[in-house]
Amino acid sequence: MKDNNEEMFPEVDENGNIIGGMTRETAHGGSKRLHPVVHLHVFNRDGALYLQKRPEWKDIQPGKWDTAVGGHIALGESVDTALLREAKEELGISRFSHVRLGSYVFESSRERELVYVYKTVYDKEITPDAEELDGGRFWTLDEIRENIGKDVFTPNFEREIMREELHLFIA
């Protein structure tokens, strides 16, 4: 399996205004054209955080642990619709309440993303999609702290959980 390089993403400015469109291949191919994504942090009532394991076939950060739900917003799709779609596709979860924590621009050597960040508390069954993910599990905050900087997590996840304005948990 591999990502669909012809999938269409909106190109946005730093305020999220759509200024054009592009393919996944363009977005991830070093163009640095800004495109929007959604992230959902899924906590259980004990405060543990669910992380997904990225499959080895992914074009970005294969084999790393990452935010529970992370996905691109398709051209013509709203942020909320993308969030609900990605949560259902990746983890099989629906009917959950979520809180928007904010947004920021993430830049790597290959891409620039406008990341819309949400969180939820979810204690029902989570069934990660075997075609999209290599599984997932709840991590305690201590387990996450112990593994920061050890090439276990995606760089984006590590930066995101340490962002003070998102009020996630790592200071």
* Predicted pLDDT of residue 171: 43
Q: What would the mean pLDDT of 16-29 be, rounded to a whole number?
A: 93
Q: Which of 59, 70, 41, 54 is nearest to 139 (CA)?
A: 41
- Within 8 A by CB and 6+ apart from 149, the residues are 158
Average pLDDT score, the chain: 90
C-alpha distance from residue 50 to each of 37, 99, 146 (Å): 19, 16, 16
Give start and end residues of each alpha helix (H) in the chain.
24-28, 79-91, 141-147, 155-161
Residues 157, 153: Cα–Cα separation, whole Å: 6
DSSP state of 130: T
pLDDT at 109: 87
When pLDDT is averaged across residues 5-10 and rounded to a whole number, the result is: 84
Q: Is 38 exposed, middle or buried (0-12, 13-18, 19+ CB in 10 A)?
A: buried
Q: Where are the domains of the chain?
A: 8-166
Q: What is the pLDDT of residues 59-113, one digit of tens each?
A: 788 999 999 999 999 999 999 999 999 999 999 999 899 999 999 999 988 899 9
pLDDT of residue 167: 64
- DSSP string of 63-110? T-EEESEEEEPPTT--HHHHHHHHHHHHH---S---EEEEEEEEE-SS
Architecture, CATH, for domain 8-166:
Alpha-Beta Complex (3.90)
Q: Is 28 helix (H, G, I), strand (E, B) or coil?
A: helix
